[in-house]
Structure 1
Amino acid sequence: MDHEDEIRKLIRRRDAERLAERVMALDGPSRRRVAAMLPEVLKELPAVHSGWDSGGLAGFGPVLRVAGAATLGGAAAVASWLYRRSFAPQWAGPDDDVDLILAVLAGRPAAWRADLAERLARRLRAADDRGMRLALELLRQTGIEPPRNDALVAGWAAQPPEGLADDPLLGHLLPRLFEAQGVGRVLQWDTDPDRGLLGALLRLAGSGRVRRADLLDGCLRRFLLGGTPVELRFFVRLHEALDPQPAEVEPRARDYLPLLPAAPGTVAEAAAKRLRGCPALTAGDLAEAWESLLFRPERKLVRAGLSWLRAEVRRAPELAVVAAAPLARAFGAGFAELQEKAAELALACAPGMDEQGRETIRQAIGLLPPEPGARVADAFGGGTVAEAEPVHLPPLPAAPERARPFEPPPAEPGELVELWSDSHLHSWQTWERLLAGFVTLAYHDRDALAAALATIRTPMWKSGPRAANWTSVDRWFQGLADHLTDQAPDAQVWRTAMPVAELPTPQLLVLYRAAEILRALEEGTLPPLLLATPTHDTGHVAADELVRRMEVLEAAGVKPLAADLQQALLRLPPGELPDAGRLTSAAGRILAGWRHPEPELTLRWYSGNRDLEVNVDCCGHDHPVELMTFVRRRVRTGLPLVDLMFRRFEHHVLAHHLDWWPAMLPSHREVAAAHLTRGLLRGTDEWTLYAQYARSLARAEGPVGESFAVVLARLLGDARQRPEAVEVLLEVAARGELPAGELGRQVGLMLKSRKARMGDMVAALGEAAERGAHAQVWSIAAAALPVLLPAPGQRPRNGLAGFVALAARVAGWCGARGEIPQVRDLASRKGSSALLRELRGLHTLLTSPGGHGSAGAVTDAAKEGRA
């Protein structure tokens, strides 16, 4: 067998390793004959589809690359052959044939291999280019200086750093690391100082293999070239890990200064950190540095500039002469606390300023808020003080109508079938209408209803539900339809289909109502109507209508269904007493003597074994937070489902139709809310709280307390539902039913337990205040602060200064007065943090003369819905 035939067969078998052995053994003429044969081989190879490959020659890529690298004559021809597009699978990663190609190239002349290495390096277009490894290895083997190519540098930086100290390319490519575009993005996730290129460079600098000065100069050179925060992230990490000392910073001070005004925030922060305390800076340099930082939009950098200025002026009071222009810049900062801090610094620097500096300050006073502006104007002998913007506080919007008439049930079989087919029982209103329509139609014309239901054909209907664990109302209604159309899979389905697992009590009541209808259908005791069908969209049943329905049942000689009667009693409006004296049945007597129970409930927050309401230091808890409901005064009506509804507040995984529960207890919204609260903090999909729950509770009646406050607090702290949550707060406040003090306490606990974000809560309460609920928001904030403020030795929650600022703003709108002990105690501490400054401002406001009375009086007004 001649060489050409053997090579051809090895290519067809895709045996790259054997092929490499054979081509390396060929003499010159044989290699030239194989090279001449390759175009013919390309035409002969069949199309191959393998995995994610695009087909064609892709499956033969390695053997073809090896064959061409070993036999083609010129370096340009080999470079073109190796990276023919048809050889590369569509979804391929890095080439895995590099070692074979290097082996077959090893016998080529050194100059030829150097030419190929340069050509391959110049072809690279990205750090993850397929040819990167081969190009880098050829450059290392040939020892030539790599050509200028940013992609080559980025690809080299992305390689595993093992053996970097002995890499022949280190001397060539390390200086380019700080100049080449794309390197920063490749290295943006290199964060570990013990691993990756970052760790390798630090070790090389520590061992002396690389000069620290070269790395520092490289970082500064990269910073001065500019770039996005992402592109500079790695170099900032490297710079900070090198931790340049004062002796290293001093000769580079002129390179750090230009970074302060316009470099990305992380770069400017690093530069300011190194320049602070640098003895090489003149007074002019310091003024330039401060002005650069105080003109920045980032709060952190402005704060750093003010802190630096204060420290330097304290150290050298004569520097006050050059502080005027930077402070004037800071007067226009977009943050009130920084403007206040700048005003305080101006007052401290006033004695050391010359007349020119004082004039600079006077001209900038108008940028300050009115109160600090007036103080600076007094100290500097003039200046235009900004006028306080008038606050236009709208009244609370009128509350929407609480209830509207409930849509009547279907009156015809076709209407019921259409309602069921279109609804899929997503709402409690549809469920109630379907139940009521089914019972009435089945009682009066069973055959017509059965014929209409038989026209429906769905996959679920065809399979037929088995009688076990029907936790969904869809299954129960289908069971009713199955029985009516003689398709029921089991006898006495109502007995076996009730779930064996414990369910939330409201869900049990829903299922019991369905089960007793199915039982009555099987036993032939179906009543002509249901008692609990609402008359209003809040879920209420008007008392006179309930009496009329009971009279219909008595006239028909039929007993009401037990769960239906108990649900109807729970739906009576709280202020309506049924005139049921003429009723003669046992159920009628129950209705005549009905009075709504008044249970007493209380909530407790727990994390592990700790009571968070007693031990509110829950900032660092590791246990999931739960809410437990306790019944302090039990209800004993003698009606089992009613008593269970007021006694058991346990939640399990199988919780459905949570948004139905307020309509089941429209006269007991605190009890309905208590059923929601236990699972409220779990954060699972089954317990996602939506605004319609709180809106339904707002439209319901009855007392409100801790449970309702928890539901509303949870919503207010959820940015996704802020608009609806604010609307609910405004609606309840407009009716004078908002438990503002209790809501404030629960807001504090919600934030304290990290179940809501401070920024989201401040935004929601701020919006409510601006829309007319300023008095209520002050009451909420005043009740939340004692819970939120840290005790001695505790760290404050992030964003707490913003909450205090909101409290101060609405307190000013309300004219609130009255000392809050926790605010007073913290305000008296030493320090200049934003939180302490806001607390001092709030305490001064609350204890200043005048106003509209005590803070408690304002709180009472808020409870009554008065501004």
Structure 2
Amino acid sequence: MTGSISAVSVARARRTRTEPLSWAAIDHLARHDDLPGLTLLLLATPEEERVALAPAVDAGIKSADPDRWWGRRGNPNPGYALAVIGCMPSAARAAAALGRRGMRLWTQGSPEFFLEIARSRQLPWLGDLGRRLADRIPARDPWAVDWRFITAVLREGGVEPPVTEGFVRGWLGELFDSPGRGQRRAPLVQRMREDPYLPLLLPAVFEIDRLGAVVAGGSWDETTNRWESAPRFPGVVAELVAEGTLARPAILDLTVDRLLRGGKPHDVRPFVLLHDALAPTVDELAGHAADYARLLPEAPGTVATLAQRSLRAVDEAGRLELETLLEASQPTLVRTEKTLVKAQLSWLERVARRQPDRAGEVLETVAAAFGHPALDVQERALTLIGKQAGRLDPATVGRLAEASAALAGDLPGRAAELFGTVAEAPAAIPQLPPAAPPAELPPPIATAGELAEELVALCHEETAVRWERVLAGLVSLYTVAGSAALATALQPVLDRYPSTFTENSWNRTSPGVYLGEAIRAALDTERPGVWRRMLAGIEGRQLLRVSQRTFDAVRTAWQGGVRGGPDAAFAPTPDGVLALRVAEVAVQLTRTLVPAVVATPTHVTGSLDPAVLLDRLRRAEAEGWQPWPVDFEQALLRLPRQADPAVVAGAAELTSPAGQQFAAWLAAGGLPDPVSTRWEQRPATVDQQYAPVARRAVAAVRPARDGGLRLERQLLTLEPRSFPQLWPDDFRRRGDVLAMVLPHHREVTAAWMLSELAALADQDQRDGAEVLPLLAECGGPVGPALAYGLAYSLGARHQESRLAAVDALVTLAARPEPFAPAVGAALADLCADGLVKLSRLVPALAEIHLAGASVALWELLTAALPPLLPTGQRGLPDLLELSTQVAGAVRARSAIPGLAEIAARPGTTRLVKEAKRLHSVLHP
């Protein structure tokens, strides 16, 4: 409701006022959306009475029900803000009241009544209030209504706004946001020209880095009456410069300074466009030559291209010092953007011809490109130098020959012929040092306070290591410290995180629910405590239901090792073993005298040292207790394939049932490797438009034997569906929990996760690849599941996923187990029809080469290239170029089927050229 309050209305209200101003009256009028009535009441009250009511207003705002912040019709209620401006004695008190959390929506109404009250009071601090409110506008995502209301207060108070990120962002939003339905506005250039804040706030758009993203997007174009996706900021600012509204030197300086600070390409793009729109003259470009020389080697690609173009214009005008060009060129020539580097080489070639007396200096700078990762760039630099080498003095030729040691592939021989030197013997074949053993698990939790801290951390970030420490700590501390000590430390955690430790509709299979059960069991000195809670009401009955369901589910697992099914308590997938183990603790903790779990791993991979398990079982026999069934089976599944003979002999001396089973397990060599086979999924519908992917390679797993442990068959049985899953996320961010179940059978873990790993490449998902470095440290043969998982991750959409695959492959390369041919074959299968993009793959493989795993990488490439060569896939020349570099590093001399045929083709396509290069390295 809007309107104004006349002086006659205020006078009449003062004469007829029958009750004093009170918080109750304010509250009633505000909650009924009667803003004119509330304004009249405030204006009709003398100033002394209003100020005297300020403490009551403050207290009322603090204690009011949150529902009262909304009006009767469901609209935001600004009525309490009128009480603030009408009663508070200072800007500080008013700003504090308006800044309370419950007052978040106070700006949703019109500022008219707010300002009318302020005018009536003739507040000298209104401008100060506006500044304080403006300072609080958040830097990210300010509300447009907040900005408009606060701006009205600032203007009424006659003060300039603070130049903060939040206020400037709100100003830009007001300028660029589309108008409401049916509204028309003046063109953007006119609104900016007439905006009183333009001189004050526009420089901040250049000076606050994050604001580049605000002006990089599209906006509503009033002339065409539609949304334009291209940024309009550069063109409008250039137009204001051209007409003289903005000073050209100042805007150009601000633009170049902003480019110098750098940032993400999206953030700097509008300033690149503005620089182009300004079209600086040669004089202006020469004045900034030193700035462009700084941008050329270091700035993002688009900015570096701008700098290169600008410097070249200065050079063509004869106003660029050669020293400046050479100093900027050397680091530029090793940039990854080949187009930029090749343009720089062409420029330097022209300069060398133009200034023959200084050609030696120029060509020594060109030699910096010998260190470029791309062979075609190295070759171009060598060819350029070769054209002018005859005019160089012997000393310069000698220095160029020394620089040619950085060349790779077939280029060292060509350089030796050019410079009249003998090609150096290839360096030693790179070898990775032996892989370090996996890190050990952190020390056990020693106190109840430390357990509480780890529980809180677990609520914020679940990790497998943290779960193992919490589980072991709870069981051991219950025996050592007792219920009272645990209650003091852990009850506040249960109270603070009820959604984690109490069952609700979305967490029924979560281990957190059963951990809550286990903790509550540990805190009850007697089981009747559950009945006391039950009598307390619905919450107690719910806890009792969960307790009974937990017991039934654990008993079912004990009998047959089965998890999952209708109304399941535990997930049927391997990560459900963790929830089952936690539930077993909840059931057994107060029923049996078991002072420790035996499955706690000794290493972060989940591996358990057989000697440690032997000590735990000896303790159990000495103290007269047996491990819990699921806990003991998990311990056996974590043992490595081989144990020290002394441990095997010690296990044979054990007499308890668990001890004898342990001895038999070691003697048999542990869990037999399951059978893992490649499984191809195809869309369930013939309409490819609705299929998530054209095909997906996954793996099926089945046990290699009948019988075995109770947990065994369900863990080792995976029958994939026949069609690809859309957006698979069964193990999202829980891969480490999955890996710890079978740390010496990583192929099984990879098979369960393979759909998610595939989606990294074929559906551009983000999470999942972080498990790969952990699997590389685990044990077991590399089968189709892990091979395809690595292949998919190398071609993932997001860089962090590709880097995880690189880390995993480098770790595998330092271990004796063969893996590279299987991964190479998987890559060829996925890339042959474009399912995985070679353009993503090659940079990741290059990182493996740089990390020193060149021997394994060559094995991978020799498996991948033969089936890929006939496909002619985009990116194949880059893969051949990398293969040439790797082949030279490992001194490979093996033939690759199909390579000679491509190398013998006529023509100068890059594919033929790179095939010839690789063939010449393999057959010198």
What residue in structure 1 maps to residue 678 of structure 2? Answer: 603
Say whether the 8 Å CA contact 2:98–2:106 is kept in structure 1: no
| Alignment correspondent of 1:225 | 257
Q: Counterparts in 2 of 1:447-462, with a 5 A limit? A: none
Deviations 1:123-163 (A, max 9, x none): 96587699964675589899x99799687766533434364
Q: Please tell me whether residue 369 in structure 1 is matched to residue 405 in structure 2.
A: yes
CA contact (8 A) 1:706 1:742 kept: yes
How far 1:817 moved relative to its partner? 1.2
Instruction: State the 1:496 CA deviation.
Output: 11
SS in 2 for 1:627: strand
- For 1:287 and 1:191, the matched residues in 2 are separated by 36
Instruction: Find the partner of 1:795 among 874, 882, 890.
Output: 874
Distance change (3 Å), C-alpha of 1:672 and 1:344 = closer
Q: 2:921 corresponds to which residue?
A: 845
Query: For residue 186 of structure 1, what is the aligned residue in structure 2?
Result: 211
Deviation at 1:818, TM superposition (A): 3.0
* 8 Å CA contact retained: 1:673, 1:707: yes
> Are residues 1:100 and 2:113 paired?
yes
Q: CA deviation at 1:783?
A: 1.1
Q: Note the C-alpha offset of 1:603.
A: 1.7
Following the alignment from structure 1 to structure 2, what is the Cα–Cα distance between the partners of residues 43 and 535?
Answer: 68
Alignment of 1:473-484 (within 5 A): 477-478=554-555
Contact 2:375 2:881 in 1 (8 A): no
3-state SS of paired residue (1:795) = coil
1:49 maps to 2:86: no
**Structure 1 position 782, deviation (Å):** 1.5
**Tell me, what secondary structure is at the counterpart of 1:49?**
helix
| 2-structure distance, mates of 1:280, 1:398 | 53
Aligned residue pairs: how many? 692
* Equivalences for residues 260-271 of structure 1 within 5 A: 260-263=292-295, 265-266=299-300, 268-269=303-304, 271=306
Give the direction of change, closer, same or farther, for the CA distance of 1:299–1:363 in structure 2 (3 Å limit): closer
Supply the AA of the counterpart residue of 1:796: G
2:82 corresponds to which of 54, 62, 69: 62
> Is 1:319 aligned to residue 402 of structure 2?
no
| Structure 1 residues 775 and 61: CA distance shift in structure 2, 3 A | closer
Pick from 869, 875, 887 the counterpart of residue 811 of structure 1: 887
- Please state if 1:780 is matched with 2:860: yes
Question: In 2, are the aligned partners of 1:673 and 1:708 still within 8 Å (CA)?
Answer: yes
5+ residue gaps, structure 2: 1-9, 69-77, 140-144, 177-184, 222-227, 439-464, 473-523, 534-542, 580-628, 652-656, 722-727, 760-764, 795-800
Q: Deviations over 1:623-673 (max 9, x none)?
A: 286335579x9999999x99999997347999999658869xx9x998997
Q: 1:713 to 1:808 in 2, by over 3 A?
A: same
Alpha-carbon displacement from aligned partner over 1:214-259 (angstroms, at most 9, x marks no partner): 698665321333552249965641542785497x655643356343
Contact 2:432–2:852 at 8 Å: present in 1 too?
A: no
1:88 aligned residue: 98
Displacement, 1:337? 3.3
Residue type at the aligned position of 2:693 = H
Classify 1:468/1:495 alpha carbon distance in 2 versus 1 (closer, same or farther; 3 Å). Answer: farther
Structure 1 counterpart of 2:428, from 391, 399, 412: 391
| Inter-partner Cα distance in structure 1 for 2:270 and 2:119 | 40
Establish whether residue 537 from structure 1 lines up as the match of residue 573 from structure 2: no
Distance 1:52 1:327, change over 3 A: farther
Structure 1 residues 630 and 393, CA gap change in structure 2 (3 angstroms): closer
How big is each residue's C-alpha offset from its partner over 1:37-57, in whole Å with a ceiling of 9 and x where there is no partner? 6544436646223489999xx
Q: Aligned pair in 2 of structure 1 residues 345, 397: CA closer, same or farther (>3 Å)?
A: closer
**CA 1:739–1:349 in 2, change beyond 3 Å: closer, same or farther?**
closer
Displacement, 1:262?
Answer: 1.9
CA distance, structure 2, for counterparts of residue 287 and residue 399 of structure 1 = 51
Distance 1:185 1:455 in 2: 57
Q: Which TM-score applies when normalising by structure 2? A: 0.53
Whether the aligned pair in 2 keeps the contact of 1:153 and 1:176 (CA below 8 Å) is no
- In the alignment, which residue of structure 2 is the partner of 1:307? 342
* Corresponding position of 2:845: 762
Q: Which residue, out of 151, 156, 172, partners 1:157? A: 172
| Cα distance, 1:681 vs structure 2 | 3.7
Secondary structure at the aligned position of 1:48 is classed as: helix
Equivalent pair of 2:169/2:211 in contact (CA under 8 Å): yes
Equivalent of 2:191 in 144, 167, 170: 167
Measured in 2, the distance between the counterparts of 1:832 and 1:496 equals 60
Question: Contact conserved, 2:678 with 2:784, CA < 8 A, in 1?
Answer: yes
* Alpha-carbon distance between aligned partners in 2 of 1:742 and 1:693, rounded to the nearest angstrom: 16
Compared with structure 1, are the counterparts of its residues 496 and 296 closer, same or farther at alpha carbon in structure 2 (3 Å cutoff)? closer
Indicate the percent of aligned positions where both proteins have the same amino acid: 16
Equivalent position amino acid for 1:223 in 2:
T
Q: Judge conservation of contact 1:313–1:319 (CA < 8 Å) in 2.
A: no
What residue is the counterpart of 2:21 in the other structure? Answer: 9
In 2, distance between residues paired with 1:465 and 1:119?
Answer: 56
Give the C-alpha shift of residue 86 in structure 1: 3.6
1:426 to 1:347, Cα distance in 2 relative to 1, 3 A = closer
- Which of 339, 345, 348 aligns to 2:384? It is 348
Which residue number in structure 1 is paired with residue 273 of structure 2? 240
Matches of 1:571 and 1:136 in 2, distance apart? 77
Picking from 762, 776, 784, the partner of 1:706 is: 784
What SS does the corresponding residue of 1:189 show, helix, strand or coil?
helix
Call closer, same or farther: CA 1:829–1:170 in 2, change over 3 Å.
Answer: farther
Number of the residue aligned with 2:693:
623
Secondary structure of the structure 2 residue equivalent to 1:742? helix
Give the letter for the 1:65 counterpart: I
The residue type equivalent to 1:745 in the other structure is: A
CA distance, structure 1, for counterparts of residue 154 and residue 546 of structure 2: 72
Q: Work out the CA distance in 1 between the residues paired with 2:545 and 2:129.
A: 71
Alpha-carbon spacing, 1:340–1:809, altered in 2? closer, same or farther (3 Å):
closer
Distance 1:310 1:720, change over 3 A: closer
Q: Note the alpha carbon deviations across 1:658-700, whole angstroms, 9 max, x for none.
A: 658869xx9x9989976775776468999985666666652xx
Aligned partners of 1:817 and 1:847 also within 8 Å: yes
Matched letter for residue 843 of structure 1: H
Alignment root-mean-square deviation, CA: 7.3
Q: CA deviation at 1:101?
A: 4.9
Point out the structure with max Rg over C-alpha: 1
Aligned to 1:593: none
Displacement, 1:762?
Answer: 3.2
Instruction: Tell which deviates more after alignment, 317-326 or 251-260.
Output: 317-326
Q: What is the deviation of 1:726?
A: 4.6
Shift of 1:261: 1.8
Structure 1 distance, partners of 2:528, 2:556, is 14
Decide whether aligned partners of structure 1 residues 424 and 822 sit closer, same or farther in structure 2, where only a CA change above 3 A counts.
Answer: same
**Structure 1, unpaired ranges of 5+:** 27-32, 69-77, 402-422, 431-453, 482-492, 512-529, 550-559, 577-595, 612-619, 849-867
Indicate conservation of the 8 Å contact 2:637/2:741, yes or no.
Answer: no
- 1:265 is displaced (CA, Å) by 1.2
* Residue 288 of structure 2 corresponds to residue 272 of structure 1: no
After superposition, residues 493-642 of structure 1 pair within 5 angstroms as 499=565, 537-538=639-640, 602-606=677-681, 608=683, 623=693, 626-629=696-699
